[in-house]
Structure 1
Amino acid sequence: MQRLMKCARALSLGLLLLGLAAVPAVADSSPSASPSDDTDAPTSAGTSFRTAAEVDQGQRATASASTGDYLYWSFPADARQRPTVRATVKLPDKHASATWQIDVYDGLRRRQACQYGAQTRTAAQDAASVELSCTLRTVRAWSEPWADDPLPGTYYIRLTTVGLQAADLGLPVSAEVQIGSKDIGGSAAVDGSLGEPLVPGIAVKTEESDKAAEDSESSVAVLSSIEPDDGWASGWWSDRWVWTGIGGVLAALAGIGGYALTRGAGRPR
């Protein structure tokens, strides 16, 4: 009876540790992009990859343009994040039906497929606006060179219309873009990491430029200056560590309980 009570206490302790450890695991799986101050959000968009307007996750960027223009924005995405891009285009009062499309490219300018979302939509003649969305695959910390997996770095958004009629070319429109992401957690963790994030211009440094940077505060020009609030690869901690620790604790408790149940009542005389 006493052994059973000891095993019950050990099991209760294990369940208590399991509940306490599950709290940070649940928090780790919550959305990671907190709302940012929209006052610092850009009010115009770029016309190419090099002139893309930089947007932080959580901000709502706006832009005024003409129908037929290519609008570009850029944002940072780190490992284990699943970014979602949403765009809203407000159309003029009189317009013909047109198809709008949103594309997302990574730091190597590889077009990334949308896991789900309305990437392309056709606006009817009486439509006042059209909404688009694209949820990317989870960003991996490391991948094979031949793979097309999303990697940490800068991502580009391109918004434009396809199949436009000549009569609607040049009509004024306004666009809103917002980026959010969800932290997937340890289920997306891999054993590896990139030497540097895929940020344009960050890998152009040479030994001479590094020495010059040590002598002066000026550094090599980087085409994209945005990065996550906590820096790149900041989310090294994940629920993968938590569940590994829980497994070790439960294994130790199982060993203690098995020993308490199977050991003899005492040494024979």
Structure 2
Amino acid sequence: MATTRVLRRALPLTGAALLAFSGTASAAGDGDGKSDAPSEAGTSFRTATAIRQDQKATAEASTGDYLYWAFPVDTGQRATVHATVKLPEAAARHAASTWQVDVYDGLRRRQACRLGTPRKTVARDAASVSLSCSLRTVRAWSEQWANDPLPGTYYLRLTVTGLKADDLGLPVRAEVDVTATDAGGAQAVDGSLAEPLVPGAGSDDQRPAEVTEPEDGWSSGWWSSRWIWTGVGGVLAALAGVGGYALTRGSGRPAGVPQGR
């Protein structure tokens, strides 16, 4: 049936876009080159390491480094980034430190956190610090002047601020992942982008950047669950009309016309 075909097309995209950017903050990884477990982070937008949703990535770096990861978010999704940093030994540190995560969209516009703890100051003897940032729902379309999150590539940046110079360069281990939920048709808008906001093919000092779409492609933005409720509402309205007609037609005479002799 047509309804079945529409529902099949409306199934959420389960493939996540893998953005193959090369990282330069290297990490001690598995050594077998498995892309399923990224073990490095980039040091800029151009070298951001690609991760998928629900994929845990790690990186070993030095305190003071800027660490970057890139991940896809599609229309209708609410993404949350999580980051945990294992801090250097307390004996090697001299003061408290403040850690921060920032999220940028495909246009490198910083996105506000709807929920979470994107910035935290920890004591000198803290063993680790955990951060999170929940983004607003990604819209299919937006006015040019607005800062609404749009489908495409997003960047997670992890860094430390307010650090004493004596603590720079100490080894740290970072672990990040991205989760997402479907906001549903209540957040749907009319219109859609011609293309998702993903970086075009380019080149860095080492290797070119490539973009891989989800298995079923990016959502066009035309579909949302509100189409189902619109259809159901239309059917119910039609049934109500038929039922009302059946109840009011009586013996078949127009209402108000007396029966003739």
TM-score (norm 2): 0.79
Does 2:221 match 1:231?
no
Distance, in Å, in 2 between the alignment partners of 1:39 and 1:52 is: 14
Distance, in Å, in 1 between the alignment partners of 2:74 and 2:80 is: 13
Aligned-partner residue type, residue 265 of structure 1? S
Post-superposition offset of 1:125: 1.7
Q: Counterpart of 1:84?
A: 80
Distance, in Å, in 1 between the alignment partners of 2:177 and 2:217 is: 20
Runs of 4+ off more than 2 Å? 30-34, 221-224, 226-230, 234-238, 265-269
Higher strand share: 2
Structure 1 counterpart SS, 2:241: helix
Distance, in Å, in 1 between the alignment partners of 2:234 and 2:53 is: 37
Distance, in Å, in 1 between the alignment partners of 2:99 and 2:70 is: 19
Higher helix share: 1
Gaps of 5+ in 1: 1-20, 205-220
Distance, in Å, in 1 between the alignment partners of 2:215 and 2:133 is: 23
Aligned 8 A contact 1:78 1:228 in 2: no
Structure 1 counterpart SS, 2:245: helix
- C-alpha distance 175-135 of structure 1, shift in aligned 2 (>3 A): same
Post-superposition offset of 1:231: 1.5
- C-alpha distance 159-226 of structure 1, shift in aligned 2 (>3 A): farther
Aligned 8 A contact 2:118 2:133 in 1: yes
Post-superposition offset of 1:190: 1.4
CA deviations over 1:76-135 (Å, ceiling 9, x no partner)? 111111110000001122133100000001111111111111000111122111100001
CA deviations over 1:147-198 (Å, ceiling 9, x no partner)? 1111111111100000011121111100011001111121122111111111
Aligned 8 A contact 2:103 2:156 in 1: yes
What's the Cα RMSD here? 2.8
Structure 2 counterpart SS, 1:159: strand
Counting aligned pairs with the same residue, the percent is 66
Distance, in Å, in 1 between the alignment partners of 2:84 and 2:38 is: 15
Distance, in Å, in 2 between the alignment partners of 1:101 and 1:31 is: 30
Count of residues in Structure 1 that have an aligned counterpart in Structure 2: 226
Q: Counterpart of 1:48?
A: 44
Post-superposition offset of 1:234: 5.8
Q: Counterpart of 2:109?
A: 110
Q: Counterpart of 2:242?
A: 256
Aligned-partner residue type, residue 261 of structure 1? L
TM-score (norm 1): 0.76
